[in-house]
Amino acid sequence: MSAMPEPAQRLAPAARWAWRLSWAGGCVVAMVVLAMAGRGLPGSWQTAGMIVLAVALLAGTPLVPELRWRRWRWEVREHEIDLQRGIIVVRRTLIPMARVQHVETERGLIGQALGLATVEIHTAAGSHEIPLLTDFDAGMLRSRIAELARTDDG
């Protein structure tokens, strides 16, 4: 086990703001949908749903992004990419550098506003993400992975 220390790098601190925004936004949208579509439901169901969503909004917004951010670790080494994330399901993934086909960076709407970008790593079996790094770090990481993937032929 000592052969595999936990990955050391964290996401950008501002990632928490991106998640807070999207969590709160999701809760509000769900409340609006419930308010509009809820007329068909019995009144008590609608109230119960509203309470659940309100709790999610008030308690989840500060809590969930913080936990997520603390759990998310990554590290790019010479021969592999090491990811660890998840609050309820903790998942650790190892991607051999030789299997990386291409790397992309992508910025969503919230990322745009906060200057954050997501690095997407594609292999023949699917893709993996390192979300919400600062623009600069994401760009550097993309070139670094691309360079390492080119030189490491397994």
Partner 1 sequence: MGERLHPAAIAVYAADALRQGAFPLLVILGASVFGGGFDADAALRAGMFALIGTAMAALAGGFRWSTTRYSLAGETIRLREGMFSVKEVEIPFTRVQAIDVEQGPIQRLFGVHKVQVQTGGGGVGGELVLGAVDEAEVERIRALVGRQVPATAQDAPPAPERRLSGRRLALAAATSGQLTVLLPVVAAIAQMGQQLFDDPVQGERTLVGALPDGAAGWALVATGLLVLAWLLAALGTIIGFGGFAVRRESDELRIRRGLLQRRQVTLRVGRVRAVRVIESPPRQPLGLATLRVEVIGFAKEQAAAQTLFPLLRREEVEPFLHELLPELADGLDGLERPPRRALRRYALPPLAPTAVAAAALAIAAGSPWPLLLAPLGAAYGTLRFRAAGWRLEGGRLAVRSRSLARSTVLAPAAGRESHDLAQTALQRRARLADVAVAFGKGTVAGVRHLDADVARALWVAIGPR
**Residue ranges in contact with partner 1 by CB under 8 A:** 1, 3-4, 77, 79-80, 86, 88-96, 99, 123-126, 128, 154
Q: What does the alpha-carbon distance between residue 149 and residue 79 come to, in Å, rounded to a whole number? A: 8
Supply the minimum distance, in Å, between the C-beta of residue 28 and partner 1: 27
Supply the minimum distance, in Å, between the C-beta of residue 91 and partner 1: 4
Choice between 10 and 128, CB closer to partner 1: 128
Q: What does the alpha-carbon distance between residue 115 and residue 124 come to, in Å, rounded to a whole number? A: 30
Choice between 39 and 91, CB closer to partner 1: 91
Please report how the helices 15-37 and 61-71 are oriented relative to each other, as an axis angle in degrees rounded to 10.
140
8 Å CB contact between 117 and 104: no
Beta pairing, strands 116-123 & 102-106 = antiparallel
* Burial (Cβ within 10 Å: 0-12, 13-18, ≥19) of residue 6: exposed
Choice between 88 and 109, CB closer to partner 1: 88
Choice between 58 and 94, CB closer to partner 1: 94
